[in-house]
Amino acid sequence: MAGQSAAIIESKDAYFSYSGDGEPSPALSGINFSVKRGEYVALIGPNGSGKTTLLKLFNALLIPSNGEVLVKGISTTEEDKLPEVRRSCGMIFQNPDNQLVATTVEEDLAFGLENLALPVSVIRKRVKATAALLGLEMLLKQPPHLLSGGEKQRVAIAGVLAMEPDCILMDEPTAMLDPAGRHSVLNTVHALNRNRGIAVIHVTHFPEEAALAGRVLALNEGRVVADGAAKKVLTDLDLLHKIGLQGTTAGELAALLRLGGCPLPSHILNNRELVDNICTLAQNN
Amino acid sequence: MYIGTEQLTHTYMPGTPFATKALQDITFSLQQGCFALIIGPSGSGKSTLIQHLNGLLKPTAGRVFFAGQSIGSDKQALLGLRKKIGLVFQMPEEQFFAETVYDEIAFAPRNQGLTENEVEERVNNAFEKTGLQSASLLKRHPFQLSAGQKRLVAIAAVLSLNPEVLILDEPTVALDLDSRDHLFNLLAQLNQEEGLTIIISTHHLDHVAALADTALVLKQGQLMLAGSLDEVFSRRKALYEMGLSLPAVTEIMHSLAERGLPVSTCVYTMQKAKQEILAAKKRG
Ligand SMILES: Nc1ncnc2c1ncn2[C@@H]1O[C@H](COP(=O)(O)OP(=O)(O)OP(=O)(O)O)[C@@H](O)[C@H]1O
Ligand SMILES: Nc1ncnc2c1ncn2[C@@H]1O[C@H](COP(=O)(O)OP(=O)(O)O)[C@@H](O)[C@H]1O
Ligand SMILES: [Mg+2]
Ligand SMILES: [Mg+2]
């Protein structure tokens, strides 16, 4: 089961309704997909499309009303295995202020481990190693509320990482951060994915962030409407526009320029690709 | 000289070991009907400044003025002020207290003593303006919403006040790009057609840069740059050094200019970028 291609998360025809009165349709309807070890999946979709609800199903904070969600082969309905499910799929939320609980960074990193009832020596070792990995050594004695937003998010990620998860679930982790904080968080998570093979599911409204993922999954009205390589899903501007989303700035501008008669390729996703292609065209003129 | 501050200083928890100087000697003034951006790294004092503009904090030193008057501690004057200045907090949850979305949006007009019919009209109007679709949302508890829906409800709850100045602290957090564009178009309309003064703090300058005319840049509690948008955005290097960035489309124009393409870099919209690039290609 632990092979390279083993699924960490499987969603089998999962439905979810917030049993509210007068609600026309469930928040999620018939979600089928799986995430493999080491994959980086960006989860996109308009406001209210079900992204947060789906992450909560993967973390067993919610249980599907129909269908099934499996984490490393364990159904999220198996209550005695919930600690293992939550350990292997840690969650990072949008607001860095709401997820740090302790009075110092060090205690915060140890918090989850203490709940696993690990020996003190193991806890110390893991806290040290995780802090080193994320460049937080200098901050260990600091109270979390004095850190910048980007630092707080990195501490939250470190807290999840110390649990040695197989997958990190992130719900708009950079939404509240300034550009510098955003960079540091994105670099951190991509490095963990690349170097440690930790799978990532990353909910974002920024096409530029989704473009960095290997795979992009788009939700609309509780259903999966696209699932494929970032290059494929994010350059399908017709589809994105139809569900109220947009491509990257570079991709959208390339499409406008094509309409204006510039023969630019249709796979352009980032600024560098756009600038290179425009300069090549200008030279050939 | 419509709204602004004079040598405003704010220290949180003064006289304790935790004292933090969040604003230092800030002086600026904005004209009625302007559309201003407040930019700065996190912790630079944006939210603190915004709360002063609504009379929610008391200056440690200096003063805040609105429509020719100091925002003092006179309670009556403050109440009048809050009817004219609408503030949407950085965390929408922080302003929710009603049991339903409807009551949340109805709170301000009810406080103004309107009839229930007038209140209903204000609520529906404000709700529709934000682009929220399903009317069934009005019956829900404000906490039973997705992140983006909460943000839009918080904005509707302030629009229903019919304010003269609208201040929004990082309003695009959690919005999808279409909702963001919808919000900005609404703000542009309120600004241009109804003459509202708009003040926004944000890290995300895409699209909003095309609507704003003025920018204030804060860093560590100090006002580093202030002026027209073109003036402030032309200081690209200074902005980088503060850890800030330009709108994505402006970045692209800078990169093209650096590679020798004869394009303007004061570009904040896709349409203008397209014109510039096509023209440069013809010339080049
Ligand atoms: N606690 C709740 N009670 C009732 N309905 C809810 C609750 N939370 C979310 N919903 C509804 O479920 C649907 C999906 O919400 P969800 O939070 O998963 O969306 P999302 O894709 O994360 O949106 P956003 O981009 O705005 O965060 C929406 O229609 C929302 O209004
Ligand atoms: N309620 C508070 N109590 C103490 N310090 C605060 C409080 N709010 C903000 N600060 C501090 O004031 C400074 C400016 O914060 P803030 O105005 O929130 O900045 P921004 O909105 O630009 O991120 C920061 O150093 C912050 O830690
Ligand atoms: Mg959400
Ligand atoms: Mg703030």
Query: Of A95-104, A158-167, B85-94, where does the model show the most confidence?
Result: A158-167
pLDDT tens for each residue of B16-50: 888 889 999 999 999 999 999 999 998 899 999 99
Q: How is chain B split into domains, by residue range?
A: 3-243, 247-284
Q: What is the pLDDT, as a whole number, of residue A64?
A: 96
* Inter-chain Cβ pairs, chain A and chain B, closer than 8 A: 129
With an 8 Å Cβ cutoff, are A245 and B176 in contact?
yes
Residue closest by Cα to atom 27 of ligand 1:
B147
Helix axes B147-159, B101-111, angle to 10 degrees: 20
Q: What is the pLDDT, as a whole number, of residue A151?
A: 87
Q: What is the pLDDT, as a whole number, of residue A200?
A: 97
Instruction: Give this complex's ipTM.
Output: 0.90
With an 8 Å Cβ cutoff, are A175 and B261 in contact?
no
With an 8 Å Cβ cutoff, are A249 and B42 in contact?
no
CB A227 within 8 A of CB A218: yes
Indicate if the alpha-carbon torsion angle B242, A250, B132, A13 is positive or negative: negative
DSSP-based three-state secondary structure for B63 = strand
A187 CB neighbour count, 10 Å cutoff = 11
Q: How far is the CA of B143 from the centre of ligand 1 (A)?
A: 10
Q: What is the pLDDT, as a whole number, of residue A194?
A: 96
Q: How far is the CA of A52 from the centre of ligand 1 (A)?
A: 7
pLDDT tens for each residue of A145-157: 888 888 888 999 9
Provide mean pLDDT across the span A226-239: 97
Q: How is chain A split into domains, by residue range?
A: 2-229
Q: What is the pLDDT, as a whole number, of residue A123?
A: 93
Q: How far is the CA of B40 from the centre of ligand 4 (A)?
A: 9
Quick check: A4 pLDDT over 50? no
B235-273 as b/e, with b when 16 or more CB fall inside 10 Å? bbeebeebbbbbbbbbbbbbbbeeeebebebebbbbeeb
Q: Of A180, A182, A246, which has the smallest distance from its Cβ to B177's Cβ?
A: A246
Q: Is A199 exposed, middle or buried (0-12, 13-18, 19+ CB in 10 A)?
A: buried
Q: Which of residues 176-205 of B touch A (CB under 8 A)?
A: 176-180, 203
Provide mean pLDDT across the span A69-98: 92
Residue A32 one-letter amino acid? N
Atom from ligand 1 closest to the CA of residue A219: 21
- Quote the CA–CA distance of B185 and B206 in Å, as a whole number: 13
CB B158 within 8 A of CB B166: yes
Q: Which two tokens stand for residue B115?
A: 């009839």
With an 8 Å Cβ cutoff, are A282 and B144 in contact?
no
With an 8 Å Cβ cutoff, are B177 and A177 in contact?
no
CA distance B278 to chain A (A): 8
pLDDT tens for each residue of A117-146: 889 999 999 999 999 888 889 899 999 988
Q: Which residues line ligand 2 (CB under 6 A)?
A: B 12-13, 20, 22, 40, 42-48
Q: Is the pTM of this model over 0.90?
A: yes
Could you tell me which CATH number the domain at A2-229 has?
3.40.50.300
Residues of chain B with pLDDT under 50: none
Q: Which of residues 45-84 of B touch A (CB under 8 A)?
A: none
pLDDT tens for each residue of A9-56: 999 999 999 976 556 689 999 999 999 999 999 999 999 999 999 999
Indicate if the alpha-carbon torsion angle B182, B265, A210, A279 is positive or negative: positive
Q: What is the pLDDT, as a whole number, of residue A22?
A: 59
- B3-243: CATH superfamily: P-loop containing nucleotide triphosphate hydrolases (3.40.50.300)
Quick check: A2 pLDDT over 50? no
